[in-house]
Amino acid sequence: MNKKEFGNIGEKITCKYLLKHNYRILERNFIYRGGEIDIIAYDRSKNEIVFFEVKTRSNKEYGLPADSVNKYKLNRIIKGAKYYLFKNRINKANTRFDILEVYYSQGMFFINQIKQII
């Protein structure tokens, strides 16, 4: 499995995961000046718009995927989120920022959702 394939499968699996957990996918790969938000979804149970950063890793040994979201990256994601809300004229909505870690080990995909990174 090459990197591209791995990434695609990873995204598919995360979407499935989110649907199963009562989310509605609003946007995938939302592009803004400065970057891209991997997934934007609506959490029905919490009434929150959630901005996901998806981190895929095939090997755990390089540290956990979540570790690679630093302050700089976070600020960019927030900027993207603001742009999304502005563009869609969403005012005062409840929002949340999560990380979805996807890793592959021994022929299986694992998903770990880290909620509320800010």
Please state, in angstroms and rounded to a whole number, the distance separating the CA atoms of residues 27 and 59.
28
Q: Which amino acid is at 47?
A: N
Task: Between 19 and 93, name the residue whose CB sits nearer to another protein.
Answer: 93
Task: Give which of 88, 42, 70 is closest to 80, Cα–Cα.
Answer: 88
**Please, how many CA atoms are within 13 Å of residue 67, restricted to the half-sphere of its CB?**
6
Selected binder of another protein within 9, 74, 78, 111 (CB under 8 A): 78
**Using the rule CB under 8 A, is 118 a contact of another protein?**
yes
Which residues 84-113 are close enough to bind another protein by CB under 8 A?
A: 85, 92-97
Q: Write out the residues near another protein by the rule CB under 8 A.
A: 46, 48, 78, 81-82, 85, 92-97, 115-116, 118
